Structure 1
Amino acid sequence: MRKYSLSLPKVTLFLIAMVMMLVASTGYAVTYKDITLDAESQKCVDCHEKERIAPKVHDQYAESAHAQNGIGCLDCHSAEASDFDAYTKKGHPVVASHPTPKDCATCHEQEVEEHTKSKHAYPFWLYAAADRAVFEPIVGTKQGCENCHNLSAMWPDGSVGECDICHSKHSFDVSLARNPNTCGECHLGPDHPQKEIYYESKHGNIFAAKGKDWDLSYNSSEVDRIPIEAPVCSTCHMDAVPGTSVKSTHNVSERLAWEAQAPWSYRTIWFEEELGTWEKKAERMKTVCKTCHAPTFIDEYILVYDLVNLQYNEIRRQFVYWTKKYESLGLIKVLKDKIVATGEEKQFSNTVLNASWYTAASELMYNSWHHEGRRFRMGSAMAAADYVQWHGIWELQHNLQAMIAWGAERGVEEAKKIYESDSPAKFFTYKLYDFPGSLFSIVTAEQFNVPALYKIIPDYWEKAKANVEQAYKKELITEDAWNLWMARYDNLDKYLGKEYPPHPIYDAYDKRRVKELNLNDPKTPLYKAVHIDLPSPSPADELIK
């Protein structure tokens, strides 16, 4: 552990505090010239200014809580000559060019320990196959995957992670770390679009409209209630919940009950001996939700999220099935080669994980987990309907049908039978979960327009009940969740809207639909739009004569 201790006189700290108060009242930015530096830090600043080496960092430092509390440059940048990042030159003291979490732990021991035990610190290359570097050039991954996954970097000094990925050096501003856009530097894009999902949700919409006026620098452990109108990322995953036993944490896994980014959704046992069971993690998250939402709403919402994860698994099961079948028939080949240095044969692909990359079926297999499958589940977790639907389940359905069609086109008999069928059942080669009624209200529209699946699948709700009950027996949902599901099932007609009279608005709009959309009546707007009969030929008409 690097050790370097600096202390400033109380009068100096008072002057620094006065400067910061002045800045707050006037709006002018603090620079290093506005604060009193200790002698060693002044040497650092003078040299950097003279040599013009990153001089702006001194102003960032001047605005930091570190500067306000008398933490100098060498408190973070001290080093021994034997340290892996030791830097010096003639007349220059030995300093650390890259402080690590071990350095931060000198003052922030609990935060570093919590981060080290979180999924943020999980070394993803233990989970992800090394063949990613076979499929794409390594120079791309160094500014791609690694740019975010350095959050789990393993340093020679034994520490893990990079604190300044969230706490931007050298200001280490809590407001910046708490801003959803900071999380969104990594949590965005086709494979984990939490930033886009958040901004689509009501939570994110409120932040986008009003967040510029929020002070995000608060300490959640010291307030009576969360002082912002809607949650930011840290509210749900890290902040304390005032008035409850849920404490603030840098372990973002403490409240996650599903591994919803993995190829299969499964209940988390991550550091279970310390963090408790997945049920306890789910209760922590529910405690956060109760800050703003009613318990009944929360229980129903979480149940549907559970069912989304379970439904994804059944779709995933089909991709695994078809991929293994195609491999057994020689249509997909596992990539193998010899390691140059040792001569040993190495398998560079895994059928279940990435399906060997190079065929259309391989891409469908991979993306249906890593892209669409994640979006389906994550959209459900964070209340983004478009990601559950069009970016999620719709794309998964399309991918599965394309996967079957790929085999049918290559003569796979089982795939041909499904592909050539004219029954809507062809779209559901997997088993189904469902939840009686609507999540947010009792919807009466179903008495007029019953979903097709209810019509074409015999004993639909009995089948759904059997599947949900099996999930309960296998301890994938709680007893409370199962009882909640059964309460709806026992009142099925009510939750399907069948106990209510015809809705007057439905009849009014039905009459308007007939008036507007009748293609047999030349007077309707739709008929006129379809039968406009333009006189001029298209430019391509001459090409196809």
Structure 2
Amino acid sequence: MNSGLLKKYTLVLSVTLLTLLLLLLPQTVNADPKPLVMKPFNQLSEQSKQCAACHKDKNPSIYAQWGRSKHYGANVGCYECHQASPEDADAISHEGFDIAVIVSPKDCGNCHSQEVKEFDASHHAKAGQIIGSLDNFLAEVVEGSLMLNGASPAAVNGCWQCHGSEVKVLENGDLDPATWPNTGIGRINPDGSIGACSACHQRHEFDMVQARRPEACGKCHLGPDHPQKEIYEESKHGINFFAHVDQMNLGSAKWIVGEDYDAAPTCATCHMSATRELPVTHDVGNRISWTLRPAVSEKIDAKDKAMGKETKSWEARRADMQNVCESCHTKSMVDNFYIQFDSLVELYNDKFARPGRDLMAVLKQENMLTETGFDEEIEWTWFYLWHHEGRRARHGAAMQAPDYVQWHGLYEVAERFYIEMVPQFIEVVEVAEQNGNHEGAERARAVLTEVLARPEHAWFSGNEPEEVKRARKEAQEAFKARYLNQNN
């Protein structure tokens, strides 16, 4: 090899090695953050140009988030969303413009009318109607004491941040700090609209990737009474999502399951997103066939039917959810899953929920409980049974989390019913009888006797047929002989 060719070869080799070395070095070493490159403001409205020019310095993070958004790409700026009429309840004068701090669904509906219409039909839109619920009584009265503008801080910082509050405007035009900030999904806005799009689409970027991830729903759907986030994480769906999130194609514009991704579904996949046959919907109950929230579950359309309202049937809703399932699973597997799920809900309803409701009803009817809620032990016991443990079991079955069905669910339901509720019921009746309510005590005992006489409670009442006991004992002995007595 001549000397010129050798020098050329050496130079190429040196450059190649240097390039490889630079690629292998950690990218954060001595690396300054890249500045946000924004396009010129020449296509923005004059109002939004002025807003952005100021907020770029005063609120750089908000400015940067907006700069990454599709709104920015579509020349939708601050003023297009925050503009207000002077007569609006929450309108303020700011730098020569009439604006509102709150961007409500009414505002979003100027461009996203279909999404707002679907949301208005959803159960999410009713979430702010928590004021008369047992949950709110706990937060306002039982937990609350010191008030913030007449509201319990427990409700302000807790319940209302998920359910939403009525946002009030003070006499001086400021938003009442007892009700704002708030991004609860059922927020009642000063302009009369209901909801908060930013509950799911975090402002000011409104990133669809963030809204499609399970964490977006987990802000509210977690905890002892509705642990959907934890249930999802235990399920095979959740395990697959976190293992293969890089294959989820979360940034796809259409994001159709079975076409754009197949690693796993998220909450959005099942409840909202498009399939090959179904469009996107912002009515999160549009594919739900059972309501798992109340003490006794019923089909999702039962209440509307009872009121004579036209509504989408539970069968049609289930067919749509099954359409999502069949993007990944065979029809026979989906059908069998629903048989399993239905059987769990019916077991909970018939063995524990309806009997528990009947026991509490007769105590009320016979004036054995005070009018005040949660001042007697059995009221707490019943609340835990359906509101916490019963919901966990039902949601666990709906989303395929066996530990939530069993140990966090029906096991605790059963312990609560047999070991706490029944003895407490007997004690309440005995006290009432000692106070002279003999006829009421007799009627109450008759209800308990009828409940415990049912075959599903025979193990507890001692009325189990001998052949049933014998068969179970033989099965247990066979298990021991097969697995426990082997000399391995």
Partner residue, 2:424:
406
Say whether the 8 Å CA contact 2:392–2:408 is kept in structure 1.
Answer: yes
Correspondent of 1:64 among 45, 48, 69: 69
Partner residue, 1:316:
353
Q: Once the 2 structures are TM-superposed, how far is the Cα of residue 46 of structure 1 from its aligned partner?
A: 2.8
Alignment pair present for 1:164 and 2:198: yes
Say whether the 8 Å CA contact 1:148–1:186 is kept in structure 2.
Answer: yes
Partner Cα distance (2:257, 2:288) in 1: 24
Alignment of 1:310-389 (within 5 A): 310-314=346-350, 315-327=352-364, 331-335=368-372, 356-389=373-406
Correspondent of 1:175 among 209, 212, 220: 209
CA deviations on 1:466-494 (whole Å, 9 max, x unpaired) are xxxxxxxxxxxxxxxxxxxxxxxxxxxxx
Correspondent of 1:240 among 274, 278, 290: 274
Partner residue, 1:257:
289
Partner residue, 1:194:
228
Q: TM-score, normalised by structure 1?
A: 0.66
The alignment of Structure 1 onto Structure 2 pairs a total of residues equal to 398
CA deviations on 1:271-294 (whole Å, 9 max, x unpaired) are 787752111111001111111111
Residue 257 to residue 424, structure 1, CA distance change in 2 (3 Å) = closer
Say whether the 8 Å CA contact 2:106–2:193 is kept in structure 1.
Answer: yes
Partner Cα distance (2:47, 2:386) in 1: 53
CA deviations on 1:94-123 (whole Å, 9 max, x unpaired) are 112111101101110000110010111114
Partner residue, 1:124:
129
The percentage of counterpart residues that share the same residue type is: 31
Say whether the 8 Å CA contact 1:64–1:171 is kept in structure 2.
Answer: yes
Alignment pair present for 1:203 and 2:237: yes
Say whether the 8 Å CA contact 2:83–2:100 is kept in structure 1.
Answer: yes
Partner residue, 1:281:
317
Residue 216 to residue 28, structure 1, CA distance change in 2 (3 Å) = farther
SS of 1:256's partner is: coil
Partner residue, 1:35:
39
Alignment pair present for 1:88 and 2:125: no
Deviating more after overlay: 205-214 vs 124-133? 124-133
Correspondent of 1:307 among 336, 343, 347: 343
Residue 102 to residue 135, structure 1, CA distance change in 2 (3 Å) = same
Partner Cα distance (1:57, 1:453) in 2: 70
Say whether the 8 Å CA contact 2:187–2:194 is kept in structure 1.
Answer: yes
Residue 152 to residue 511, structure 1, CA distance change in 2 (3 Å) = closer
Partner residue, 2:5:
none
Structure 2 gap ranges (5+): 1-30, 145-151, 165-184, 431-440
SS of 2:97's partner is: coil
Alignment of 1:367-446 (within 5 A): 367-401=384-418, 402-409=420-427, 412=430, 414=445, 425-426=457-458
Partner residue, 2:155:
141
Residue 33 to residue 512, structure 1, CA distance change in 2 (3 Å) = closer
Residue 164 to residue 418, structure 1, CA distance change in 2 (3 Å) = same
Partner Cα distance (2:34, 2:320) in 1: 39
Residue 48 to residue 427, structure 1, CA distance change in 2 (3 Å) = farther
Say whether the 8 Å CA contact 2:90–2:190 is kept in structure 1.
Answer: no
Say whether the 8 Å CA contact 1:257–1:267 is kept in structure 2.
Answer: yes
Q: TM-score, normalised by structure 2?
A: 0.73
Residue 263 to residue 206, structure 1, CA distance change in 2 (3 Å) = same
Say whether the 8 Å CA contact 1:259–1:267 is kept in structure 2.
Answer: yes
Q: Once the 2 structures are TM-superposed, how far is the Cα of residue 408 of structure 1 from its aligned partner?
A: 3.6
Q: Once the 2 structures are TM-superposed, how far is the Cα of residue 93 of structure 1 from its aligned partner?
A: 1.5
Deviating more after overlay: 27-36 vs 369-378? 27-36
Q: Once the 2 structures are TM-superposed, how far is the Cα of residue 455 of structure 1 from its aligned partner?
A: 5.7
Partner Cα distance (1:226, 1:287) in 2: 16
Say whether the 8 Å CA contact 2:90–2:100 is kept in structure 1.
Answer: yes
Deviating more after overlay: 131-140 vs 114-123? 131-140
Structure 1 gap ranges (5+): 1-26, 336-355, 430-451, 461-497, 499-505, 517-523, 525-545
Partner Cα distance (1:303, 1:194) in 2: 21
Say whether the 8 Å CA contact 1:254–1:275 is kept in structure 2.
Answer: no
CA deviations on 1:399-450 (whole Å, 9 max, x unpaired) are 10110122344564849989999x9945568xxxxxxxxxxxxxxxxxxxxx
Partner residue, 2:468:
456
Residue 297 to residue 512, structure 1, CA distance change in 2 (3 Å) = closer
Partner residue, 1:447:
none
Say whether the 8 Å CA contact 1:32–1:61 is kept in structure 2.
Answer: no
Residue 168 to residue 427, structure 1, CA distance change in 2 (3 Å) = farther
Say whether the 8 Å CA contact 1:419–1:426 is kept in structure 2.
Answer: no
Say whether the 8 Å CA contact 1:220–1:248 is kept in structure 2.
Answer: no
Partner Cα distance (1:320, 1:96) in 2: 47
Say whether the 8 Å CA contact 1:184–1:195 is kept in structure 2.
Answer: yes
Amino acid at match of 1:513: L
Amino acid at match of 2:89: F
Say whether the 8 Å CA contact 1:30–1:63 is kept in structure 2.
Answer: no
Say whether the 8 Å CA contact 1:121–1:160 is kept in structure 2.
Answer: yes
Partner residue, 2:107:
103
